[in-house]
């Protein structure tokens, strides 16, 4: 009974420490990545109706980085599983031929971080994720200030769509599905603002709830805003609405 409940609820006895194999130079993650330049942006929301944990609004300076234009799909994650470097997600959708181009879901934070490491990347920080989603002009949604249902897979639809299906919902940097489709893991522990990468929230070995962003097909307009914050324990797997994408530093910009 205990094993059955664990499978249903999506818990897995996984270590927090990232012990995935190092990047495999023989396989290059085929996804296109978008460049996000270095600079400042305002993180958070001063909307009086926003959740308390979305403020205070704070100027954040970030270095240049790259981020996957779409979520990691079943097909891409499956290569890591076949190589023995990633464990299989819990759920029947994974591996189905008709779902190959859909986001990999029911994936724990540890699994997501392990995949990104295996392909030579990492999970985006919460600050990176927000900047990639809204740019520097404070957008409420990746495309602008108003919710437009034809730009996003949200509002309790039939489930996930193929990654990148909603071209009209692109962020200022051309990143797709930053609102809706699936919520996305970030590297960051859930802690109050202002965001400070040096306060321990970016420690990959620390225990605690991690932030996920973007909302999903299951949620309405309020929950797919660029500043909405959700959390889940690193071992928790939501039911078919929590996935991820990877990021990496811009090494050329660092020189």
CA pair distance 91, 125, nearest whole angstrom: 27
Residue carrying structure tokens 């891409």: 76
CA pair distance 69, 54, nearest whole angstrom: 25
Query: DSSP string of 204-216?
Result: TT--SEEEEES--
Is the predicted pLDDT of residue 255 greater than 60, yes or no?
A: no
Which residues contact residue 3 at a Cβ distance below 8 angstroms, ignoring those fewer than 6 apart? none
Q: State residue 12's pLDDT score.
A: 35
CA pair distance 92, 20, nearest whole angstrom: 24
The percentage of residues in the chain with a pLDDT greater than 70, rounded to a whole number, is 83
Domain residue spans in the chain?
24-254
CA pair distance 231, 51, nearest whole angstrom: 13
CA pair distance 240, 160, nearest whole angstrom: 8
Is the predicted pLDDT of residue 253 greater than 90, yes or no?
A: no
pLDDT in tens, 197-228: 999 999 999 999 999 999 999 999 999 999 99
CA atoms within 13 A on the CB side of 139: 22
CA pair distance 201, 190, nearest whole angstrom: 7
> What is the arithmetic mean of pLDDT over 18-24?
53
pLDDT in tens, 117-157: 999 999 999 999 999 999 999 999 999 999 999 999 999 99
Q: State residue 235's pLDDT score.
A: 60
**What is the DSSP secondary structure assignment for residue 58, as one 8-state letter?**
E
> Which CATH code is given to the segment(s) 24-254?
3.90.1580.10
> What is the arithmetic mean of pLDDT over 4-33?
52
């Amino acid at each position: 009974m205990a094993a059955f409940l664990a499978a249903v609820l999506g818990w897995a006895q996984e270590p927090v420490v990232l012990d995935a194999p190092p990047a495999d130079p023989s396989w290059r993650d085929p996804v296109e990545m978008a460049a996000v330049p270095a600079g400042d942006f305002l993180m958070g929301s001063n909307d009086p109706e926003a959740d308390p944990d979305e403020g205070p609004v704070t100027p954040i300076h970030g270095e240049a980085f790259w981020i996957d234009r779409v979520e990691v799909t079943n097909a891409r994650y499956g290569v890591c599983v076949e190589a023995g470097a990633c464990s299989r997600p819990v759920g029947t959708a994974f591996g189905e031929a008709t779902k190959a181009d859909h986001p990999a879901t029911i994936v724990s934070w540890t699994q997501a971080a392990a995949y990104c490491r295996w392909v030579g990347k990492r999970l985006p920080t919460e600050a990176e994720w927000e900047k990639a989603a809204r740019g520097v002009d404070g957008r409420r949604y990746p495309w602008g200030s108003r919710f437009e249902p034809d730009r996003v897979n949200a509002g309790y639809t039939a489930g996930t769509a193929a990654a990148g299906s909603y071209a009209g919902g692109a962020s200022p940097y051309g990143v797709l599905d930053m609102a809706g489709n699936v919520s996305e893991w970030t590297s960051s522990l859930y802690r109050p603002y202002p965001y400070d990468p040096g306060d321990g929230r970016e420690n990959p070995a620390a225990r605690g709830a991690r932030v996920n962003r973007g909302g999903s097909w299951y949620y309405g307009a309020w929950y797919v805003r660029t500043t909405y914050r959700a959390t889940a324990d690193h071992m928790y797997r939501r039911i078919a609405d929590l996935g991820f994408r990877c990021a990496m530093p811009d090494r050329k910009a660092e020189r």
